[in-house]
Amino acid sequence: MTYGSATVDGIKIAYREAGDKNSPTILLLHGVPSSSRMYDALMRKLGTRYHLIAPDYPGFGNSDAPSPASFAYTFDHLAKTIEGFADAVGVDRYVLFMQDYGAPVGMRIAESRPDAVMGTIFQNGNVYAEGLGPLWEKRKDYWDDRHKFEKEVREAHLSLSVTRARHLGTDPEVGSYDPDLWMDEFAYLNREGQGEIQTELIYDYRTNLASYARWQQWLRSHQPPTLVVWGKHDTAFTVLGAYAFKRDLPSARIAVLDAGHFAMDTRLEEVAGLVDKYMQEHRSIFRSYRATRSTKQPPGLCTHQSRRSSNSPTQESFK
């Protein structure tokens, strides 16, 4: 595993990377309020077979977090920034792995760069109205009257109780979850300026619902090889959102797990196995899409940090 950063339009984008760059690439897009860190264990497991790269969005993780006064925190802008990131690190063909916020970011990238997307993996990444849980009714009130509801929405989103509940959902096996998962996120959420950043994105989330029909049409038209992995205890995005993919992607594999919103919290081995099987099943397609990466360092790219994880995996060929 290596950790680095790239500069996109003057913004430092932190990322982590594992595997051989000559292997098929999986671009992992994280959820809220997480970062690329949510993928660390998965990347270590799969890095012997594939090239995996996971950026932190602006305002998240170890990336720069400029004020909303100088950076527009919209999903359109996040997607454009990640497109610029892909250019900076020389990644031009990839499977999109999308969790939570990763779905609206990733689907915008897919629309903008359809030839770059070899396949799609959705892990509780919703693009169907059927998948919206009851909590979205309060968000809709906020979208209708931002001034009236913003303080309430912000305080809830930044609270420890909501941060914890986002992981647990309705899972009765509370003891299976590492409390550091939400304690670390709670600390990140309460850094200076995060309240403004997070509420900007919550308000802009309304544009994602308005885009669902367009994204469904994209999936229907392009028919990418697709894996849908869903934690059934998620209260934000229900399992109906997982099954809805079959309407547009009859060949998609739907795997509903005994897990929460962040399925890898408790079902890492299952998720890794599903992703590996998916990659192997479609290896002939992914092999034909092999990325052509220039040996010249693109403008704006910052080199990897010199420190490499001591348990960085040995590379194996994509078979």
Known catalytic residues are 261
CA distances from 67 to 14, 34, 82, 196, 275 (A): 17, 19, 18, 8, 36
CA distances from 303 to 12, 51, 170 (A): 12, 17, 42
CA distances from 278 to 114, 119, 246, 260 (A): 20, 10, 16, 21
Residue 291, classed as helix, strand or coil, is coil
Residue with tokens 């995005």: 237
Q: For the beta carbon of residue 272, count every other beta carbon within 10 angstroms.
A: 17
Q: Which two tokens stand for residue 35?
A: 């970062």
Q: Which two tokens stand for residue 133?
A: 């849980």
